[in-house]
């Protein structure tokens, strides 16, 4: 049994310097992420857009993200994760600086789509880089460290963004754009290009047909080098289960704050404090939690019940809102959502990486990122329609039901026999 101090020390040991550097780059980038959280307020209060027009722009943000992650995965497998990250950060920053000059509705629609089309190529490239610089033993913790940087950056950027927006909305574009460029410079100056050999787009080789072809996997699936993620049925099924979970989870950032305000009477500052609590708890707890789980259950198959538990806790978080209108349930909901997130998300991402190789990792990470992008596009819209027609209680029941379906799917994946398993142990 590990004591808490040893647990925390061990959680951060063994990670490569490159993983720490990539997480530092992510921290710099996320500390400046403040345009998106305040974009709706910017459009409605400064530009005079209607709520409907603002919704269209936000939908185009999500649409651009879907295409951006797909393109990013393709480019990562062709060019490598290093140039894709540099390109996305640097030119994404320049685009943000120029975006403040666009004030018309049609222009901002185009700008929103183009920005996320460009900026979200970073996601699969960054995930591929984290996987490249980590081992199978440290991979989940490496992704958790990256998530720690994201959450810490969001906490800093959100607080600073609110202050800057109060002064002048244009400051949001300046800070966000310049931190993107700064992150690109840190990456360029501190991390050398690994010069990963490119792969050619030749006809996929059958397993064992040449000395260069990788051996078939123990479960009989084609070797990952010759396999596209878009033809990998078990992987796509897992990403569908991930999409279901994320559809429920992202309600935390879209409709849950509105519910807190309307039902519990919480102020914007109180709601912001609850959201900050989510990020702070992840920063303090997740790395040690992931290390403890991996020390106790080292095999990937053993983590499927952990993922299922995290998803079920997410569903439970919404169900407690049905009890009564006591404001204390808001804190309970955020606590359950945060614990569920920490139990599910790090292992989901590690699962996706484990299905790939260096040659196709960018595409696999793109599909994982696309599951998030699609969820963030459809969940707020569908949820808002359901609330309008049937109320918030119906939304919480549906969210919990979706979580049960996702959890059951992941549980079943862990129960599959060796001959048909999604997971193959080393």
How far CA 197 is from CA of 124, 128, 347, 359, in Å, comes to 18, 14, 28, 9
pLDDT at 219 over 60: no
pLDDT at 241 over 90: yes
User: pLDDT higher for 258 or 337?
Assistant: 337
Write the pLDDT tens digit of every residue in 29-49.
888 778 877 787 788 888 998
Which of 143, 115, 151, 150 minimizes the C-alpha distance to 127? 143
The CA radius of gyration of the chain, in Å to the nearest whole number, is 21
Domain ranges of the chain: 15-193, 232-417
Q: Which pLDDT score, from 0 to 100, does residue 2 have? A: 55
pTM to 2 decimal places: 0.79
**Among 7-16, 27-36, 198-207, 283-292, which is the least confidently predicted range?**
198-207
Q: Which pLDDT score, from 0 to 100, does residue 209 have? A: 41
User: pLDDT higher for 9 or 336?
Assistant: 336
Q: What is the sign of the dihedral through the CA atoms of 100, 103, 108 and 114?
A: negative
Residue 234 — very low, low, confident or very high, per pLDDT cuts 50/70/90? confident
Q: What is the mean pLDDT of residues 127-155?
A: 88
Q: Which pLDDT score, from 0 to 100, does residue 196 have? A: 52
Report d(CA 380, CA 27) in Å as an integer: 27
pLDDT at 274 over 60: yes
pLDDT at 7 over 80: no
DSSP state of 93: H
Report the chain's mean pLDDT, rounded to a whole number.
84
Report d(CA 159, CA 95) in Å as an integer: 23
Fold held by 15-193: Growth Hormone; Chain: A; (1.20.1250)
Phi and psi at residue 214, in whole multiples of 5°?
-70, 155
Q: Which pLDDT score, from 0 to 100, does residue 217 have? A: 40
Query: Which homologous superfamily is 232-417 in?
Result: MFS general substrate transporter like domains (1.20.1250.20)
Longest CA–CA separation in the chain, Å:
67
Q: What is the mean pLDDT of residues 252-264?
A: 86
Q: What is the mean pLDDT of residues 190-215?
A: 51
Which of 94, 126, 157 minimizes the C-alpha distance to 26? 126
Which of 297, 290, 302 minimizes the C-alpha distance to 346? 290
Report d(CA 336, CA 256) in Å as an integer: 14
Indicate if 232-417 has the same CATH topology as 15-193.
yes
pLDDT at 425 over 60: no
Contact 340, 367 (CB under 8 A): no
Q: Which pLDDT score, from 0 to 100, does residue 227 have? A: 78
Phi and psi at residue 209, in whole multiples of 5°?
-80, -15
Q: What is the mean pLDDT of residues 291-309?
A: 85
Which of 142, 60, 169, 167 minimizes the C-alpha distance to 107? 60
């Amino acid at each position: 049994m590990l004591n808490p101090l040893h647990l925390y020390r061990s959680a951060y040991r063994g990670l490569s310097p490159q993983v720490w550097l990539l997480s530092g780059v992510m921290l710099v980038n996320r500390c400046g992420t403040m345009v998106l959280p305040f974009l709706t307020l910017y459009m409605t209060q400064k530009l005079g857009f209607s709520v409907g027009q603002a919704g269209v722009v936000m939908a185009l943000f999500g649409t651009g993200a879907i295409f951006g992650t797909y393109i990013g995965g393709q480019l990562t497998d062709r060019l490598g994760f290093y140039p894709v990250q540099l390109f996305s950060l640097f030119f994404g920053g320049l685009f943000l600086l120029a975006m403040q000059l666009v004030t018309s509705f049609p222009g901002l629609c185009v700008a929103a789509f183009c920005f996320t089309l460009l900026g979200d190529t970073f996601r699969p490239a960054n995930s591929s880089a984290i996987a490249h610089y980590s081992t199978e033993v440290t991979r989940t913790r490496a992704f958790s460290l990256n998530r720690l940087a994201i959450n810490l950056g969001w906490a800093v950027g959100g607080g600073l963004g609110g202050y800057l927006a109060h002064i002048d909305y244009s400051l949001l574009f300046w800070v966000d754009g310049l931190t993107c460029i700064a992150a690109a410079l840190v990456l360029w100056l501190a991390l050398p290009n690994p010069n990963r050999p490119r792969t050619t787009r030749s006809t996929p080789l059958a397993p064992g047909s040449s000395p260069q072809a990788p051996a078939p996997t123990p479960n009989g699936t084609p070797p990952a080098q010759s396999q596209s993620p878009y033809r990998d049925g078990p992987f796509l099924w897992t990403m569908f289960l991930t999409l279901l979970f994320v559809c429920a989870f992202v309600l935390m950032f879209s409709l849950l704050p509105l519910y807190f305000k309307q039902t519990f009477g919480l102020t914007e500052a109180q709601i912001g404090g609850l959201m900050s609590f989510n990020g702070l708890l992840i920063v303090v707890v997740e790395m040690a939690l992931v290390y403890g789980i991996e020390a106790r259950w080292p095999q990937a198959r053993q983590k499927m019940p952990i993922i299922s538990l995290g998803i079920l806790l997410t569903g439970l978080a919404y169900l407690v809102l049905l009890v009564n209108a006591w404001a204390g349930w808001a804190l309970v909901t955020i606590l359950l959502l945060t614990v569920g997130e920490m139990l599910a998300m790090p292992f989901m991402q590690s699962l996706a990486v484990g299905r790939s190789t260096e040659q196709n990792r960018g595409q696999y990470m793109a599909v994982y990122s696309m599951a998030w992008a699609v969820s963030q596009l459809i969940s707020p819209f569908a949820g808002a329609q359901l609330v309008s027609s049937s109320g918030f209680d119906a939304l919480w029941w549906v969210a919990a039901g979706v979580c049960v379906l996702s959890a059951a799917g992941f549980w079943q994946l862990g129960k599959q026999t060796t001959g048909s398993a999604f997971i193959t142990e080393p």
